[in-house]
Amino acid sequence: MHIKHSKFKNTGILFELLVRQVASDTVSGKDSAAVGLIKKYFSKTELNKEYKLYQTLINSSVVTEGKAESLINATIELSSRLNRSTLRKEKYNLIKEIRETYNIDEFFKAKINYYSQYAAAYNLIETHNSTEFIEPSDVVENKVTLLEHISRKVINKSEIKDRVLQEYADMDKGTRILAYRMLLERFNEKYVELSPAQKTILKEYINNISNTTKLREFVNESMEQLVKEITKLIPTVADKTIQIKLSEVVTFLKPIEKKQTVKDDNIITLLQYHQLVNEIKSVK
């Protein structure tokens, strides 16, 4: 699934809007209820703790890309120490009081500096604390947004994508990484180094685990390519027995039908056959 940003639940944005409301009320010469809301919800609360995490990401001084990424990872990790249940209740009650005190549409109309950075921080925090599978591409986009903001430089997305996928493999939360880890564990029992083609298969699998049609099309295209590669290799192999075995392998590589879903074994099969092709080429 894709993570969706909600400015109504973004702690950083809520605080910034309350501060702006205080300024607006003061200019208008009236007492500001927003002052009371800030004191109530941003003093010794879980909301205040989360707000400090946002501030760390938004207001950090310019540092190198490596330090920026370490800062982001550490800050997001700290979010898991918050009491999520208490945080949800506090956020719900704050929004409820804002609705009761102000015109909610007008309240959220105010322009927020660093809106995209606040949104990226929210998405990464929610992703880290979710048990649902979140598309890695979303994580990459949000992480790049914050990295470029903190380091003040253009970031190479492909490198971030590789690191994010590795993070998925190392994490230990729910369905978003179970399939990936299981595949790696099953396959890496024998093979430590993955070829570029094998890495691509794993990336496509984790990127499209919830998109059954796209994943099936990728697997079928990969099988078709493997059939061509193995068929081309057969005449170049001196051992007749191996030639026969390879001819049999080609018959096993059949496309997955439209009504079928891609299973772990299909991915493992692709990885293994790519390994076979690599070994034949290395021997030659």
DSSP 93-155: HHHHHHHHHS-HHHHTTS--TTHHHHHHHHHHHHHHT--S---HHHHHHHHHHHHHHHH-S--
Query: Which sign does the torsion angle of CA 126, 152, 68, 193 carry?
Result: positive
How far from 191 is each of 37, 180, 199, 240, 272, CA to CA, in Å? 58, 15, 12, 27, 9
Confidence band for 176, pLDDT divided at 50, 70 and 90: very low
Mean pLDDT over residues 257-262, rounded? 82
Token pair for 282: 């290395």
Q: Distance between CA atoms of 214 and 210, rounded to whole angstroms?
A: 9
Nearest CA to 261 out of 178, 184, 205 is that of 205
Nearest CA to 112 out of 15, 32, 37 is that of 15
At 131 the pLDDT is 66
Number of other CB atoms surrounding residue 151 within 10 Å: 19
Helix (H/G/I), strand (E/B), else coil: 35: helix
User: Which of 163-167, 244-248, 262-266 has maximum average pLDDT?
Assistant: 244-248
Q: Distance between CA atoms of 139 and 277, rounded to whole angstroms?
A: 33
At 175 the pLDDT is 42
At 192 the pLDDT is 53
Confidence band for 177, pLDDT divided at 50, 70 and 90: very low
- 161-175 burial, b at 16+ Cβ within 10 Å, e below that, comes to beebbeebeeeebee
Mean pLDDT over residues 213-226, rounded? 89
Top-confidence residue, 188 or 3: 3
Residue-wise pLDDT for 80-97, tens only, equals 999 999 999 999 999 999
Top-confidence residue, 78 or 242: 78
Cα 14 off chain centre by: 24
Mean pLDDT over residues 160-175, rounded? 57
Token pair for 65: 């890309």
At 172 the pLDDT is 44
Token pair for 254: 């059949």
* 46-50, 143-147, 240-244: segment of lowest average pLDDT: 240-244
